[in-house]
Each structure stands twice: as C-alpha cells, then as structure tokens.
C-alpha cells in the first residue's frame, strides 16, 4: 500500500526480518542514509545471525560507509515504543503482530526477496543484493517521500 499525502511520518521505525543479517540491517542503513536523523530507525530479526558482508558491499555502492551493526532479535529489544514496524519477511510479520497486539503500533508488510537464495557467480549473487537495495530505496521513497535529509 502506497503512502498518501496526508499520512503522518512516524517518529520511530523498526525494520524486521528473519535473521537481522541481510534485509532488515540493509533497510535500517538505507533509511538512515536517506533520511538522516529525522526518524529514529532500528532493525531486528526473529532470530539473529552475523551481518552478511555483501550487504556492506552494495551499500557502499550508494555512498553508505558505516559498517557497524549489532544484530539483535525482536525479543532482545528492551523498548517497543516504535510507531511503525516494517516486516520484510512473513516470519517477521507474524512475530511483529504478536509483539504489538493491543498496542498502538502500525505494522506494514513489505515482502522482500532474500538475496541469499541466489545461486551463481559472485556477480550474480551481488546483483540479487542490488535488486533488494534498489527495491527498498524505491519503497522508502514511496512511503516516506523523496525529501532526502543529509545523513548525519
């Protein structure tokens, strides 16, 4: 579902996926890169795994240089005071809906392909990560607008 012009911007967004290793940390990094500190952003997974280094490689291609990411699970979060949780996998959507039951938190589901499932050469695999990156950027611009703040 696209953003409407009267849709208010959330103050805090959580991106959630299955392992907090590819999709959600990429989305967190892109959101911070595109919108700076205008919106608080974090990410978590249903479970945890190490950050996939292909994520950093394709983020650097669009000017994102930070490479610090501490993976965490949705259960690890001490504070659930997000206005919006964007789930990038079915497992994350189900867990997010369970966590926010009875709370005034919006959950959106953005189905995102898992690039780790791509087989082939290194370049073919990187291309799958680039498609995810570009898809996330397009969805963010549709949802949050084109006004890009300076990254801090």
Looking at residues 69-85, what average pLDDT do you find? 84
% of the chain with per-residue pLDDT over 90? 68
Residue 93 vs residue 105, higher pLDDT: 93
Q: Which domains does the chain have, with CATH numbers?
A: 12-143 (3.40.50.2300)
Half-sphere exposure of 104 (CA within 13 A, CB side): 1
| pLDDT (0 to 100) of residue 80 | 66
Higher-scoring residue by pLDDT: 9, 109: 109
Looking at the predicted structure, is the pLDDT value of residue 69 above 90?
A: no
More confidently predicted of 37 and 108: 108
Segment 76-85 mean pLDDT: 82
pLDDT given at position 46: 96
| Whole-number pLDDT of residue 78 | 67
Cβ atoms 144, 83 nearer than 8 A: no
Mean pLDDT of 10-36: 94
Q: Which strands, in side-by-side order, build the sheet including 106-109?
A: 40-45, 12-17, 84-87, 106-109
Q: What is the 3-state secondary structure (H, E, C) of the chain?
A: CCCCCCCCCCCEEEEEECCCCCHHHHHHHHHHHHHCCCCEEEEEECCCCCCCHHHHHHHHCCCCCCCCCCCCEHHHCCCCCCCEEEECCHHHHHHHHHHHCCCCCEEEECCCCCHHHCCCCHHHHHHHHHHHHHHHHHHHHHHHCCCCCCCC
pLDDT at position 3: 44
What is the overall mean pLDDT for the chain? 88
């Amino acid at each position: 579902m696209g953003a409407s012009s009267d849709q208010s911007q959330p103050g805090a967004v959580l991106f959630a996926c299955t392992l907090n290793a590819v999709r959600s940390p990429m989305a967190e990094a892109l959101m911070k890169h595109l919108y700076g500190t205008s919106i608080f952003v974090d990410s978590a997974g249903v479970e945890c795994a190490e950050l996939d280094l292909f994520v950093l490689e394709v983020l650097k291609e669009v000017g994102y240089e930070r490479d610090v990411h501490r993976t965490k699970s949705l259960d690890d979060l001490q504070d659930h005071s997000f206005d919006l949780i964007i789930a990038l996998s079915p497992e994350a959507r189900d867990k997010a809906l369970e966590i926010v039951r009875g709370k005034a938190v919006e959950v959106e589901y953005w189905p995102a392909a898992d690039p780790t499932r791509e087989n082939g050469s290194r370049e073919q695999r990187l291309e799958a990560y680039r498609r995810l990156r570009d898809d996330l950027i397009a969805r963010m611009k549709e949802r949050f607008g084109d006004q890009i703040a300076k990254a801090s």
